[in-house]
Amino acid sequence: MSAPGRFITHAVSEPAPIPIPLSRPPVDDELKRAVLAAMDSRQYILGPECCRLEAELAQDTGVKHALLTSSGTAALWLTLRALGVKAGDEILVPSHTAFPTVEAVCLAGAKPVFVDADVFYTIDPADATAKVTPRTVGIIPVHLYGQPVDLAAVRDLASRHGIWLLEDCAQAQGAEWDGRRVGGFGRAAAFSFYPSKNLPAMGDGGAILTGDDEIASRCRRLRDHGRLDKDVHAEVGFNLRFNELQAAALRVLLRRLDTMNERRRALAARYTHELADLPLVLPPTRHRARHVYHLFVVRTPRRAELAAFLRERGIQTGVHYPIPTHRQPAVERFAPPPVPRTERLVDEILSLPMSADHTDEEIDRVVAAVCAFFGA
Ligand SMILES: Cc1ncc(COP(=O)(O)O)c(C=O)c1O
């Protein structure tokens, strides 16, 4: 025991900074009540909550049909099967995307043809046009980071060459092109409800949106073992169904989608304003698009140093994506052509914390740390 009146001195270290995650999914009482009510219903798979969510998603996007699936990858793959994709078909995909875009093409038996990125990091319509061959059947543009691709150019390309257009909207729920929600510009669209996405589930989930009756009914059948009815299986499908607990939560969040996206846009504006004078490339934005900032991606040749500096200060960052899909070992056999802009991008991109649930104070801490790194 120490003598009264005497101080004990400890080696005092800096308290660890409170961590700031890259993304923070919402959790609150309204969501918990919705999930518990679904639990009480004792109907867990493709029940009334799923039915209502499908109707609400279709209405929200302005598209005739919405079908819930077990993931965004499942949504892509089911749609490709419903489109009749077969071995030998070529499909134009951006190399700069999440691997599932390309994976779905491979699973459907087709060949992914890798297209370079444009200055907005999304599929370059000029490079896509140059890569069309007689075997090309479709194009999957990805609204990457929450920003629509150049839909005017991509739709024009698809109609000139008589190929279908499947929008990958996994990162862009609620984004708009010319004032219209993405997801209604092609034959079909695939969405993801992965927990960091703009419409986040508490697990995996996805959806197909389409105005095409045949694609909708084929996907509906394929996601449930190729069933025509309870006992008859018209074809071999799979189990790619969605569930009631998730649908109940997503119905609550869909009502908040615009508010959540506005919040992301406000945080992006805060970053943009505060980081404007640094030697950092900020996200480029298209004037016909409403960007919903699934990710806030900056560029610097000092990416690794900046990420390490932020990590030491408790700030999580990400790289979406460090290895472009055309260089993934899984698709080496397609001997992809060079995509130089993508190659340069992937060494410099860094995703800063972003979600509707981040606070202004957290973003200010990130800004202060980035400024400190650049000595500003
Ligand atoms: C662009 C893109 N496409 C497809 C997917 C696949 O979605 P999921 O993870 O729900 O299967 C993702 C998710 O990571 C994505 O970001």
Predicted pLDDT at 10? 54
Atom of ligand 1 nearest to the CA of 205: 10
Average pLDDT, the chain: 95
Give, in degrees to the nearest 5, the angle at Cα 111 between 163 and 205.
Answer: 80
Interacting residues of 373 by C-beta distance below 8 A, sequence separation 6+: 305, 306, 309, 310
Burial 32-60 (b: 16+ CB within 10 A, else e): eebbeebeeeeeeebbebbeebbebbbeb
Q: Are both 246 and 294 inside the same structural domain?
A: no
How far, in Å, from the CA of 170 to the mean position of ligand 1?
Answer: 5
CA-CA distance, 260 to 254, in Å (whole number)? 9
267 and 250 housed in the same domain: no
Can you tell me the distance from the alpha carbon of 155 to that of 164, in angstroms, rounded to the nearest whole number? 9
How far, in Å, from the CA of 276 to the mean position of ligand 1? 30
Ligand 1 atom showing the smallest separation from residue 320 Cα? 16
Q: How many CB atoms lie within 10 A of CB 228?
A: 11
Residue 196 structural domain: 29-115+122-255
- pLDDT score at 80: 98
Half-sphere exposure of 11 (CA within 13 A, CB side): 1
**In a shared domain, residues 231 and 337:** no
CB 135 within 8 A of CB 110: no
Percentage of the chain exceeding pLDDT 90: 93
What's the mean pLDDT in 257-270? 98
Distance 190 CA to ligand 1 centre (A): 9
Distance 162 CA to ligand 1 centre (A): 27
Inside any domain, residue 104: yes
Q: State the pLDDT confidence band at 2, using cuts at 50, 70 and 90.
A: very low
Centroid of ligand 1 to alpha carbon of 117 (angstroms): 18
- Residue that finishes a domain, picked among 208, 236, 255: 255
pLDDT exceeds 80 at position 4: no
Q: What is the pLDDT of residues 39-69, one digit of tens each?
A: 999 999 999 999 999 999 999 999 999 999 9
3-state secondary structure of 200: coil
pLDDT of amino acid 11: 58
CA distances (Å), origin 82, targets 29, 105, 178: 39, 13, 29
Same domain? 332 vs 346: yes
Best residue among 73, 76, 208 to mutate for probing ligand 1, ranked by most atoms within 8 Å of CB: 73
Residue 284 CA to ligand 1 center (angstroms) comes to 22
- Residue 83 domain-assigned (yes or no): yes
Give the count of beta carbons closer than 10 Å to the beta carbon of residue 10: 6
Contact 211, 217 (CB under 8 A): no
Name residues contacting ligand 1 (CB within 6 A): 71-73, 97-98, 100-101, 142, 168, 170-171, 192, 194, 204, 206
Same domain, 59 and 162: yes
Average pLDDT over residues 80-107: 98
pLDDT for position 12: 63
Residue 5 Cα to ligand 1 middle (Å): 63
Count other C-beta atoms under 10 Å from residue 137's C-beta: 19
Place of tokens 């309870």: 230
Helix axes 360-373 and 303-312, enclosed angle (nearest 10): 130
Mean pLDDT of 270-282: 98
Q: What are phi and psi of 238, to 5 degrees?
A: -165, 175
**Residue 233 pLDDT > 70:** yes
Distance between Cα 107 and ligand 1 center (Å): 15
* Residue to mutate, 22, 93, 171, ligand 1, most ligand atoms under 8 Å from C-beta: 171
- With a CB cutoff of 8 Å and minimum separation 6, the contacts of 86 are 109, 110
CATH code: domain of residue 329: 3.90.1150.10
In which band, very low, low, confident or very high, does the pLDDT at 336 lie, cut at 50, 70 and 90?
confident
Q: What pLDDT, on the 0 to 100 scale, is given for residue 129? A: 98
| Residue 10 resides in a domain | no
Question: What is the Cα–Cα distance from 134 to 150, expressed in whole angstroms?
Answer: 24
* 270 φ/ψ angles, rounded to the nearest 5 degrees: -65, -50
Pocket test for ligand 1, best of 192, 292, 295, 351 (most atoms within 8 A of CB): 192
CA of 240 to the centre of ligand 1 (A): 15
End position of a domain, from candidates 196, 231, 255: 255
- Are residues 262 and 217 located together in one domain of the fold? no
Q: Where are the beta strands (DSSP E) in 169-310?
A: 176-177, 180-181, 188-192, 206-210, 289-290, 296-299
**Ligand 1 center–CA 279 separation, angstroms:** 31
Name every residue whose Cβ is closer than 8 Å to that of residue 11 and which is 6 or more positions away in sequence: none
Atom from ligand 1 closest to the CA of residue 143: 1
Give the per-residue pLDDT at 3.
42
For 210-221, what is the mean pLDDT?
Answer: 98
Q: For residue 108, is pLDDT > 80?
A: yes
Q: What is the DSSP letter of 210?
A: E
> In the prediction, which pLDDT does 16 show?
82
75 CA closest ligand 1 atom index = 11
Claim to verify: residue 238 and residue 137 sit in the same structural domain = yes
Where on the phi/psi map is residue 259: left (φ > 0), alpha (ψ -120 to 50), or beta? alpha
Does the predicted model carry a pTM greater than 0.75? Answer: yes
Closest ligand 1 atom to residue 206 Cα is 10
Residues 225, 38: Cα–Cα separation, whole Å: 24
For residues 87 and 311, is the Cβ–Cβ distance under 8 A? no
**Residue labelled with tokens 């862009």:** 172
Q: Is the domain of 264 the same as that of 251?
A: no
Euclidean distance between CA atoms 346 and 320, whole angstroms? 8
Q: Choose one of 140, 194, 223 to mutate for the ligand 1 pocket test, by most ligand atoms within 8 angstroms of C-beta.
A: 194
| C-alpha–C-alpha distance, residues 94 and 210, integer Å | 21
Name the domain boundary from 237, 255, 273.
255
Distance 278 CA to ligand 1 centre (A): 32
Residue nearest atom 7 of ligand 1, based on CA coordinates:
72
Going by pLDDT thresholds of 50, 70 and 90, the confidence category of residue 194 is: very high
